[in-house]
Amino acid sequence: KGIMRIYDDPEHSIVVILKSGEKLCYDVEQIQTNDNQTASGVIDEFVSALEEGRPSLLDAEGVINSMRAVFASIRSSESGEPVSV
C-alpha cells in the first residue's frame, strides 16, 4: 500500500508514494472540463451495445473498483488525508 496524490504535484498528474518511500510519477492528459471535452469512447461503447443488443463492455460490475478509487481520491483531496480503497 501507499499514497496516491492526484493533480497535487506541479510537474506530474499522479504521484504514488510507496511505503518503502519510492516515488512513482505518472503524467496523463489534462482533466476534462465542460470547456475542454475529448472523446473517451465510453459513450460510443454504450450506444453500440444498445444498438447491437449486447451487454456493454463497461458495465457497472467492471468499473466499481475504478469508482471506489475516484471517490476515495475526492475524499482524500477534501480531507487532506490518505483514504484506503
20-48 per-position pLDDT tens digit: 989 988 887 766 667 767 666 777 888 89
C-alpha torsion 34→32→42→71, nearest 10: -100
| pTM for the predicted model, two decimal places | 0.43
| Predicted confidence (pLDDT) at residue 51 exceeds the cutoff of 80 | yes
Q: Which of 4-8, 53-57, 61-65 has the lowest mean pLDDT?
A: 61-65
User: What span, in angstroms and rounded, lies between the C-alpha atoms of 79 and 83?
Assistant: 9
Q: Say what the pLDDT of residue 16 is.
A: 87
Q: Say what the pLDDT of residue 52 is.
A: 95
